[in-house]
Amino acid sequence: MAERKQQDGFATRAIHEGQAADPATGATITPVYQTVTYTQDALGENRGFEYSRTDNPTRRALEEALASLEGGRFGVAYGSGMAAIAGTMQLVHAGDHVVVADDLYGGSYRLFTRVLPHYGVRFSYVDATRPEEVAKAVEPATKMVWIETPTNPMLRLVDVAACAEIARKAGALCVVDNTFATPYLQNPLALGAHVAVHSTTKYIGGHSDVIGGAVVVDDEDSAETLRFTRNATGGIPGPWDAWLTLRGLKTLSLRMRQHQENAQRVAEFLGTRSEVAAVHYPGLPDHPGHELAARQMRGFGGMLTVDLVGGEPAARALCESTRLFSLGESLGGVESLIGYPWTMSHAAFPPEEKLRKGISEGSVRLSVGIEDADDLCADLGQALDRAGR
């Protein structure tokens, strides 16, 4: 892997790290190496690549860029965010115990409750916004602490440094799903975490046109395990997907600045509406995690959730009345999206769990895009007017 150039700024590394001119042709942009295999010079002699499930030059460029932006030594790209999460869980074994922040993505919850227990991995769910609860859940068999921050969908903040220290004392790994924050706004490894996980489908790809995931670590043994198990299980991104993700990464800093500027405007606007019972956005001074977010992040992100006074009928009406906010799964694209966590992103949770986490039938999640902020506020305003009729 090329030596990291940490003296360069984020935007510079996003465009240049791992992306030198192609040695064969001088192409400025990393080519799509659309090949399965590589012609070898002789038995046992190759030019660094043998088979594209194991390694591919386009994928390697993406991995080097992501590692640099997360401040880690090793990046490992996967075919989806869930493949990256499943790949990370190869760092634990049968009989191991994992402490999990209970406000987490529905796909992670489904994997942790319905798949991995069959392989002898145990999970305990805690309110990780209270580090003392994380510490209380640790036991001798604990090998991993899994957190998201900000959380999906309630935008709660978890103290990464505190959880990392708890994991360190227990001899466990601290894993942070950094999808909502992105490497532009937050670097978990710099806060003491051992592993940063991303669904690159979201903000890193940024254009809702490619599925992918990634894991970044500093530890060479962990990287070797991740790469070995990825090769053994096959959850790789194809070269075209890697190239699209790499292209999206180049503009991440520009997009995130606009996402969060727009989200702040939208959050403040929604806070003035009588139809809205609560706005969950860390950029608001009255958000319970505002000070922590200001301390461990470099901005507040582009995601927010609102609770509507009118409950389920109002939420459904809002989701079906917007013009610019498209009703759909996913998040983090340049276009604004609106979603209904109760039956969409968090459908895997039992109703009582959703309610305990603060997700109600009146909760609506917004992925605020990079359109004109005045237009987004006007769209939500007219939709709330219609929902209130």
Domain count, the chain: 2
176 and 218 share one domain = yes
Is 99:144 a contact under the CB 8 Å cutoff? yes
Q: What is the mean pLDDT of residues 288-301?
A: 98
CA distance 371 to 368: 8
- How far CA 80 is from CA of 14, 20, 104, 197, in Å, comes to 20, 26, 17, 11
Q: Is 225 inside a domain boundary?
A: yes
**CATH number of the domain enclosing 304:** 3.90.1150.10
| Residue range 353-375: mean pLDDT, rounded | 96
Last residue of a domain, one of 249, 274, 309: 249
Is 4 part of any domain? Answer: no
Summarised one tens digit per residue, pLDDT across range 154-175 is 999 999 999 999 999 999 999 9
Q: Are residues 155 and 118 in the same domain?
A: yes
Mean pLDDT of 319-334: 97
Contacts of the segment 348-351: beta carbons below 8 A, 24+ positions apart? 348/106, 348/107, 348/109, 348/110, 348/113, 349/106, 349/109
- Are residues 228 and 267 part of one domain? no
Q: Are 41 and 47 in contact (CB under 8 A)?
A: yes
Sequential DSSP letters for 345-385: TTTTS-HHHHHHHT--TTEEEEE--SS-HHHHHHHHHHHHH
Same domain, 188 and 272: no
Asked, for residue 259, whether it belongs to a domain, the answer is yes
Q: What CATH number is associated with residue 172?
A: 3.40.640.10
Confidence at residue 1, expressed as pLDDT on a 0 to 100 scale: 40
293 and 180, same structural domain? Answer: no
Q: Does the structure show a pLDDT above 50 at 77?
A: yes
Look up residue 226 and give its two tokens.
């991740």
Of 219, 274, 276, whose CA–CA distance to 72 is shortest? 219
Same domain, yes or no, for 273 and 162?
no
Does one domain contain both 215 and 361? no
375 confidence band (pLDDT: 50, 70, 90): very high
pLDDT on residue 160 = 98
Please name the amino acid found at residue 121. V
Confidence of residue 6 (pLDDT cuts 50, 70, 90): low
Q: Is residue 193 part of a domain?
A: yes
Q: Tell me which residues are annotated as active site.
A: 53, 105, 177, 202
Query: Has residue 264 been placed in a domain?
Result: yes
Instruction: Judge if 68 and 149 occupy the same domain.
Output: yes
One domain for residues 131 and 62: yes
Of 162, 132, 156, 17, which is closest to residue 75 (Cα–Cα)? 17
Running DSSP on this structure, what letter comes out for residue 90? G
pLDDT of res. 300: 98
Which residue, 214, 249, 284, sits at the end of a domain?
A: 249
Residue 160 resides in a domain: yes
14-64 pLDDT, tens digit per residue, is 999 999 999 989 999 999 999 999 999 999 999 999 999 999 999 999 999
Q: Which structural domain, as residue segments, surrounds residue 97? A: 10-249
Per DSSP bridges, beta strands 326-327 and 337-339 are parallel
174 within a domain of the structure (yes/no): yes
Regarding whether 279 and 141 lie in a shared domain, the answer is: no
Structural Rg of the chain based on CA atoms: 21
Q: Residue 95 pLDDT more than 70?
A: yes
pLDDT, tens only, 248-291: 999 999 999 999 999 999 999 999 999 999 999 999 999 999 99
pLDDT over 90, % of the chain = 94
User: Do both 179 and 286 map to the same domain?
Assistant: no
| Residue at which a domain ends, from 206, 225, 249 | 249
Q: Do both 147 and 290 map to the same domain?
A: no
